[in-house]
Structure formats: structure tokens, C-alpha cells
């Protein structure tokens, strides 16, 4: 059988213009183990768990939550190879409106691991479209166990929404805990009053880099689960 195989290769090479070195190189490459085999299985598992609602960015965030450091472009390529595509195209609400106040440093630096509760929090705002109207959800999530510490739901993305959410959260912690509260560069978090509230409570403010949603991956992942497993699977007739 081995001789027959070698004979077939010789015939193939004689009838093609491919160089022998190129042919044997590609043949050798095909026999190499797939270094992304485990990652592919994890991607398929996450995709199926969320019923096809997760795109490559949210799958990347989920992988990183599991301690796997991988570029979102690699995940996109692997999903294409696997024939996986999100059945829902999530349109992210963007609160960034340029520099409206003071932008602070990314203190968190994607270190989402916390050893105790109330050590690291993250916040953001997401939008829901319902029967031609909109609702805005502003929560704070604890990076220790993904518990929602506080939230506020309003019909407009106003600054007072964030203030009320903060005051609810502040009741659950003492002053000067050196807790880190991370957000994106949304206009709400650049406001002087927001930053003063954090400073008075002894909270360290942290912001994602501009246009980098993975810097706030945990709460992005929460929004993805909330929408794909609850909001998009039901039909709501009104904002009530």
C-alpha cells in the first residue's frame, strides 16, 4: 500500500506544475497537529451554550474570562473556519461623545481577577429597543463573583441615572476601601461630579482605552448574556 501511495504521488506531480518541494511542504503541514484544536472546541461550546447568539467579540471575552489570552481576530478566523456566525447582530450603545470632561488612566488593565468582594467593580450603560421606545440599563458588577451590586433603569441616558446607581452601591461599602471602579470613556464617567463622588467615597476610578470594549469585557459579557438569553428570546410589547 505504501508503494502504491508513493506511485500515486509521482503520477500527480508529473501531471501538475507544482514544485516537488512545495507539494511535500503542504503535505507535511496537513499532517501537523492543530494547535487550535482545544480552542476550537471551546469556541463551539460557548457558541452552542448561547444558542448562536454570541459573535466573535463576546466569545473572545468569554475565553478571556476563562483565563485564555487570545486575540479577537484569531477567534474571528477560527469561527469562519468552523462555519460559526452569530445569529444576532448586537448593536452596542455608545455613550462616548468625545472628551466632555476628564479621561483617567486604565488602572484595571484587564486584570479582572479579584480575591475578595468589593475589590473591583465595573460599570457601563446598555440600550434596549422595545416597540419603538428605548430603555437604558446602568449596572455595577462585582468582578469577584459577577454579582450586580446596584442598577438603575431609565427611559433616557441621563447623568442622574448614574448618580442614583452610585448612591445605591455606596450604601453597601464603607468609605476609603480603595475599591477600583472601571468604566469606558462614556460622557457620564468624565463628568466632574461623578469623579468627585468616587473621590469622596475613596474609590479609585479606572477607564478603558478609547474604542476598546475588551478592556471592560466582564460587563460586556453580562450584557451579552442578558440580551441573548432573556431579551432576544422573548417578545416585549411595551417598556413596562
Grid cell in block for residue 75: 477567534
Q: Please tell me the distance from the alpha carbon of residue 227 to that of residue 185, in angstroms, as a whole number.
A: 22
* pLDDT for 121: 98
| pLDDT band, very low/low/confident/very high, at 2 (cuts 50, 70, 90) | very low
Per residue in 14-61, pLDDT tens? 555 556 666 556 556 565 567 888 899 999 999 888 778 788 888 999
Q: What tens digit of pLDDT does each residue of 108-130 get?
A: 999 999 999 999 999 999 999 98
Which residues are within 8 A (CB) of 18 and not within 5 positions of it... i.e. 6 or more apart? none
Q: What does residue 45 show for φ and ψ, rounded to 5 degrees?
A: -65, -45
Average pLDDT for the chain: 85
Distance CA 151, CA 125 (A): 10
- pLDDT value of residue 126: 94
pLDDT of residue 7: 47
Contact between residue 73 and residue 161 where contact means Cβ atoms under 8 Å apart: no
pLDDT for the residue 34: 78
Question: Quick one: how far is CA 84 from the chain centroid?
Answer: 17
Residue 48 near residue 82, CB atoms below 8 Å: no
The pLDDT confidence band at residue 5, using thresholds 50, 70 and 90, is very low
Q: Name the residue with higher pLDDT: 142 or 92.
A: 142
Amino acid at each position: 500500500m505504501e508503494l502504491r501511495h508513493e506511485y500515486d504521488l509521482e503520477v500527480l506531480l508529473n501531471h501538475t506544475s507544482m514544485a516537488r518541494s512545495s507539494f511535500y511542504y503542504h503535505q507535511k503541514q496537513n499532517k501537523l497537529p492543530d494547535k487550535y484544536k482545544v480552542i476550537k472546541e471551546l469556541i463551539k461550546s460557548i457558541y452552542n451554550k448561547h444558542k448562536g447568539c454570541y459573535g466573535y467579540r463576546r466569545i473572545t471575552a468569554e475565553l478571556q474570562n476563562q483565563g485564555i489570552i487570545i486575540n479577537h481576530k484569531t477567534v474571528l478566523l477560527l469561527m469562519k473556519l468552523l462555519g460559526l456566525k452569530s445569529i444576532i447582530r448586537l448593536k452596542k450603545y455608545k455613550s462616548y461623545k468625545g472628551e466632555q470632561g476628564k479621561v483617567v488612566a486604565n488602572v484595571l488593565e484587564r486584570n479582572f481577577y479579584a480575591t475578595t468582594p468589593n475589590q473591583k467593580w465595573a460599570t457601563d450603560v446598555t440600550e434596549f429597543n422595545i416597540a419603538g421606545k428605548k430603555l437604558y440599563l446602568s449596572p455595577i458588577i462585582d468582578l469577584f463573583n459577577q454579582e450586580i451590586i446596584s442598577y438603575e433603569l431609565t427611559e433616557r441616558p441621563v447623568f442622574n441615572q448614574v448618580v442614583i446607581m452610585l448612591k445605591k452601591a455606596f450604601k453597601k461599602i464603607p468609605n476609603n476601601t480603595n475599591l477600583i471602579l472601571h468604566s469606558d470613556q462614556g460622557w457620564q464617567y468624565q463628568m466632574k461630579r461623578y469623579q468627585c463622588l468616587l473621590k469622596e467615597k475613596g474609590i479609585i476610578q479606572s477607564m478603558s482605552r478609547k474604542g476598546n470594549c475588551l478592556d471592560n469585557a466582564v460587563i460586556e459579557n453580562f450584557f451579552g448574556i442578558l440580551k441573548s438569553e432573556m431579551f432576544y428570546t422573548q417578545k416585549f410589547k411595551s417598556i413596562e
